[in-house]
Structure 1
Amino acid sequence: MVIMAAKGRQQILATGKHQAGFTLLELMVIVTLIGLLSAAVIVNFSGEKEENPLTGSMATLKLQLRSLSDKAFIEQRWLGFLFTQHHYELMTFSSTQGWQKVPSFTPKTFPDALLVSLDSEGKPVRLAEESTIPQIQASPDGLLTPFKLSLSYLNETLELTDPYASAE
């Protein structure tokens, strides 16, 4: 039994105590409002398209290389990315079959106007379509072969030497 107190609109429970806290309905309304507001913010931020394919491609590559290193460490096997001028794909090493493409990984294609160059262990690497050995490899301890990856678009170039560093 609930009795309304004369002061304000506080409810007094049958036990003689005042009601404390919020009702479930009030909490659900607040959570719904927060959800709607956060959805609106996310839509506004994600609605912006990058005009320059360079920054988006470099950010994707950094994430993919970090992922490659982590995956090699977790799975305790050799993994690598095979680069061509137009795309890159994931490969895994088997002692019986050598380097093989990972069928579950869809090759990532670079935007048309983007130029890619790669130095591995201090030497320029030819990005040929017929290559079968990945230029950037991750060992089972998660270490990557030394590399310098350059992406160029118009008059701008970004270089990546370590996926955990910032692109310059």
Structure 2
Amino acid sequence: MRRRSAACPASPAATRGFTLVELMVVVVIIGIMLSFVTLPFGGRSVDDRIEFEAKRLDRTLRFALEEAEIKGVLIGFRYLPDHYEFLAPGKDGKWEPYDLGPFRSHPFAAPLTLQLRVEDRVVPPAQETEKNDEKAEPKPQILLLPSGEVSAFRMVVGAGGSPTRYTVEADAMGKFRFQNGEEKRK
């Protein structure tokens, strides 16, 4: 028997690399797998988006009240047709955006809807103030006071065509309540 030496090269078929077609098939398979992984995050159902945005709004409002108490600053909240924002009095006493961390303006995109009631009155979305108009200033629809008090409000987050609703509300003493569904008032 003849022994093969360790230095003997393998056959040409065993040393060849992958063909371009094989590499492309692997890339396509990886792409398909990645699309399935990212699908649940990008293609959230409307009901999931309603719940997520309602919880975010609830947490941010609670945090804003804590911020007002800790820093001793008056904070306002207002919602517009496509976003909501927090406000605080500036050095000149006029309301201006309170753009710190989680209190930056937040988009509230369609199909999501927000219905606000303050002291049991419906409050329509605010209108954008003109940037070049010095007399115009944004006006808050809800006040969060340094004393821990809040303008009593009730917000219902939903979407057109979806029965899912979440309610975020607070009483004048700053006690918040979050619930699934829209409670019927007597």
The TM-score by the shorter chain falls in which range? 0.5 to 0.7
Among residues 140, 157, 172, which one is paired with 1:151 in the alignment?
157
Kept in 2, the 8 Å contact 1:119–1:149? The answer is yes
CA distance in 1 between partners of 2:179 and 2:40 (Å): 21
Per-residue CA deviations over 1:89-128 (Å, capped at 9, x if unaligned) read: 1110247322111244431111321111101111111103
Among residues 94, 119, 141, which one is paired with 1:135 in the alignment?
141
Share of identical aligned residues, percent? 20
Name the amino acid aligned to 2:115: S
| TM-score of the two chains, using structure 2 as the length reference | 0.59
Q: Which runs of 5+ in 2 are unaligned?
A: 1-38, 130-137, 181-186
Taking a change above 3 Å as real, the CA distance of residues 143 and 95 of structure 1, as seen in their structure-2 partners, is: farther
How is 1:99-114 mapped onto 2 (pairs within 5 angstroms)?
99-104=95-100, 105-114=103-112
Q: Which runs of 5+ in 1 are unaligned?
A: 1-46
CA distance in 2 between partners of 1:124 and 1:164 (Å): 19
Q: How far off is 1:142 after superposition?
A: 2.0
Q: Secondary structure at the match of 2:178?
A: coil
Kept in 1, the 8 Å contact 2:76–2:143? The answer is yes
**What's the Cα RMSD here?**
2.2
Kept in 2, the 8 Å contact 1:58–1:167? The answer is no
How is 1:109-124 mapped onto 2 (pairs within 5 angstroms)?
109-124=107-122
Aligned counterpart, 2:84: 88
Name the amino acid aligned to 1:77: V
Among residues 153, 156, 160, which one is paired with 2:168 in the alignment?
160
| TM-score of the two chains, using structure 1 as the length reference | 0.65
Kept in 2, the 8 Å contact 1:88–1:109? The answer is yes
Q: How far off is 1:72 after superposition?
A: 0.2
Q: Secondary structure at the match of 2:85?
A: strand
CA distance in 1 between partners of 2:76 and 2:90 (Å): 12
How is 1:53-64 mapped onto 2 (pairs within 5 angstroms)?
53-64=49-60
Q: Secondary structure at the match of 1:117?
A: strand
CA distance in 1 between partners of 2:167 and 2:51 (Å): 11
CA distance in 2 between partners of 1:141 and 1:95 (Å): 21
